[in-house]
Chains A and B, each alone.
Chain A
Amino acid sequence: MKQLAWRLGHRLLLLVGVSLCTFVLLSAAPGSFFDDLKLNPQVSPATVTKLQAQYGANRPLPERYARWVESIFRGDWGYSLSYHRPVGGLVWQRARNTLLLTTFAVLLAWMLALPWGIAEALYKGGWIDRTGEMILALLLATPDVLFALLLLLLAARTGWFPTGGMSSSEVADLSFGSRIWDLARHLFLPVVALALTTLPILALHVRSAMIGVLDAPFLSAAKGHGIPKFRLLYRHALPVALNSLISLFGFSVGSLLSISLLVEVILSWPGLGPLVVEAVLARDIYVVVAATMFSAVCLIAGNLLADFLLYCTDPRIRSVQS
């Protein structure tokens, strides 16, 4: 347990480093929101100067960072100059939408990858394995851009699914059940696109983890004892393979906020992706920093989760303590 606490502290320190890095990086941007604003003929120079002073944009870097950190602890992430809203609320809302999408997608991907990988490992070399590998190679080679575009085409041609967005325009008038159905229809395409993107890597990892276990001597010994195949798989083989898959799972969880950027942009899903892209184009620093911090936190949390799960499931790690 002490080890976990130490790791948590280590990661928090990492988070501080990340925030510093991101902030410095973005403050180095030569253009800023105010430059574009100055070019706007409708905004007077006096207003620009006033805005700059108000947001402390002219202060030296360390002071800006310190003020930013202090304000974060107060829950204030800054103000988005292009959306005219506090950054915290904006980013959090978009992050929730992204999480809705990615959680379903990652769950779907894992639910497909586990049996796929296990089946391939069990029938290694057979036609199931070879066909499966070919399909996975094709899926792996297809970028998420293409998946999203093709699914969008499907929606446009058949009309079975809405071509983007998170909700239809009449959603406020619908009953609760209809609202859920509407959401599901809108979720379908992005979830499938994202799941197809992550599936091949997961399946290949599951396959190689299972093969590693199935070849191990301890399993042959267990089989020699006469343990039935099913039980062999689930009580003996899978738990050991799970060990190496846990870090992969941690990484999956960690990437929940960053993995769906392109899919969201193409399918107009109102998540973090489109927000960050627009913020980069508009030089809206605080939004980019907040979004990056959120996803870094997610990544670190995913790693911590993996550490925790490994601690719970792998008795070897626990015995090192004593």
Chain B
Amino acid sequence: MSIRMSPHAKRNTLLVLFIALHIVVIFPGFFSTQGYAEQNRDLPFSPPTRLHFVRPDGHFSLRPFVYGWNEAALDTGIYEADRSQIYPLQFFVHGSPYTIVKGINASTHLFGVESPGRLYLFGTDDFGRDEFSRMLYGGRISILAGWIGAAIALFTGGIVGLISGYTGRWVDSVTMRMVELFMALPWLYLLFAVRAILPLRIETTDTFILLIGVVGIIGWARPARLVRSMVLSAKERNFVLAARAMGASNTYILRKHILPQVYALLLTMAAYLVPQFILAEVTLSFLGLGIGEPVPSWGTLLAELQKYNVLVNYWWMYAPGIALVALFLIYHWASSTIQQRVGVPLT
């Protein structure tokens, strides 16, 4: 990177960015301005509302504000600001209620404007739903899917690899044949085949978690193989033999010598797998096979772009795509940092 910063400062900035991004998508209710299902049929496909600092009478106002936002004439799709109505931007504003976790509700949003003012940071979609809020909620779904899928794949694969590598003999042979079998199937097609088994409509979050769980399980093969080969080589290392010669039990050797290295390997793999599973969820949702309406996911948001007029006219609908690129860049950086720090090669 050619940005002029000391490596430490650069690393800390990116770390802060990484954490901030994830905090925002874990608590989309607080950071968004509206609920993801709130429609406003009067304002379909409205472009982003602009924040202004200079009032109509020429005064500079430190606090930004928006004008009233209306359709210029009915059904034209052209929007203009109504300068007679001024709504200042406020922080910790009281808005539509949302659920933080099951059972705990709140209605304070980080920023917003009082109704009937409207703040559409990323414009609206076909039903007048705020794209910005939908992106935050969608980010939660997609990123959560990535993490859950990766966690399940690493967990199942890790355990299988550990057992297979440490036990050896026929257990190892059988496991490796299974791994080869799974790796002979193209991943995306396996994904679809598995998706075909599950119910077609994913209504609730629970079904969604089930879907991601299954998607995660089918990704067990590569982690299993990597963990197994690491365990095999670790098992034969002289320091393990020395411990064994000293009378160490299998549990001790696993705990003290083998597992620490396995954790390092799993961490390296996680940085690589999470984006892969995020992309899997986005792919499925894009094709209509992921979570159902009205819950947004970046995939469903991007699917809007398949309509010709959306693709060509409404540039703000590309926001989820840009967000994906930014996210993957950050994960790419995280992955290379982890590989440098931990030093476990991923072949």
Contacts and interface: CB of A to CB of B under 8 A. Distances in A.
Contacts of B308: 156, 163
B185 A262 contact: no
B186 A14 contact: no
Interface in B188-228: 188-190, 192-197, 199-200
A106 interface: no
A18 B185 contact: yes
A111 interface: no
Contact of B312 (A138, A143, A153, A258): A153
A26 B192 CA distance: 10
A21 B190 CA distance: 10
B9 interface: no
A17 B183 CA distance: 12
Contact of B287 (A11, A21, A26, A277): A277
A25 B197 contact: yes
Query: Looking at B184, B197, B321, which has the most chain A CB atoms within 10 Å of its CB?
Result: B184
Interface in A138-154: 138, 140-143, 145-146, 149, 152-153
B321 A26 contact: no
Contacts of B194: 25
A21 B187 CA distance: 14
Q: Would you list the 3 A-B pairs with minimal beta carbon distance, nearest first? A: A258-B186, A141-B328, A141-B329
A140 B192 contact: no
B289 interface: yes
A265 B192 CA distance: 14
A291 B325 contact: no
Contact of A288 (B185, B196, B199, B328): B196
Interface of B: 1-2, 177, 180-181, 184-190, 192-197, 199-200, 279, 282-283, 286-289, 302, 305-306, 308, 311-312, 318, 321, 324-329, 332
A253 interface: no
B195 A280 contact: yes
Interface string A1-38: 00000000001001101100110011011110000000
A141 B328 CA distance: 5
13 contacts: A17-B177, A18-B181, A18-B185, A137-B329, A137-B332, A138-B325, A142-B325, A143-B328, A145-B302, A145-B321, A153-B312, A281-B289, A288-B193
B185 A143 contact: no
B329 A149 contact: no
Given A14-B180, A258-B188, 19 more contacts: A14-B184, A21-B181, A25-B194, A26-B193, A29-B197, A137-B329, A138-B329, A143-B328, A145-B282, A145-B283, A149-B306, A156-B312, A265-B287, A276-B189, A276-B192, A292-B186, A292-B189, A296-B186, A299-B186
A296 B185 contact: yes
A152 B312 CA distance: 9
Contacts of A138: 325, 329
Contacts of A141: 324-329, 332
Nearest to B178: A17
Nearest to B286: A145
A175 B184 CA distance: 42
A21 B325 CA distance: 35
Given A14-B184, A156-B311, A296-B185, A30 B282 contact: no
A134 B1 contact: yes
Contacts of B311: 149, 152-153, 156
A277 B2 contact: no
A21 B2 CA distance: 49
A300 B197 contact: no
B181 A26 contact: no
Contacts of B196: 26, 29, 280, 283, 288
Contact-residue size bin, chain A (C-beta under 8 Å from the other chain): 35 or more
B279 A28 contact: no
B299 to A, nearest CB: 8
Nearest to B187: A258
Interface in A111-170: 130-131, 134, 137-138, 140-143, 145-146, 149, 152-153, 156-157, 163
Interface string A212-244: 000000000000000000000000000000000
Interface in A276-290: 276-277, 280-281, 283, 288
B188 to A, nearest CB: 5
Nearest to B289: A280
Nearest to A289: B193
B328 A299 contact: no
A281 B329 contact: no
A105 interface: no
Interface in A287-308: 288, 291-292, 295-296, 298-300
Contact of B306 (A14, A266, A296): A266
Nearest to B308: A156
Given A28-B197, A156-B312, A262-B286, A295 B2 contact: no
A299 B279 CA distance: 21
A255 B192 contact: no
A20 B325 CA distance: 38
A257 interface: yes
A212 to B, nearest CB: 12
Contacts of B318: 149
Query: Looking at B185, B192, B329, which has the most chain A CB atoms within 10 Å of its CB?
Result: B185
A194 interface: no
Nearest to A276: B192
A87 interface: no
Contacts of A15: 184
A101 interface: no
Nearest to A15: B184
Contacts of A28: 197
A296 B199 contact: no
A261 interface: yes
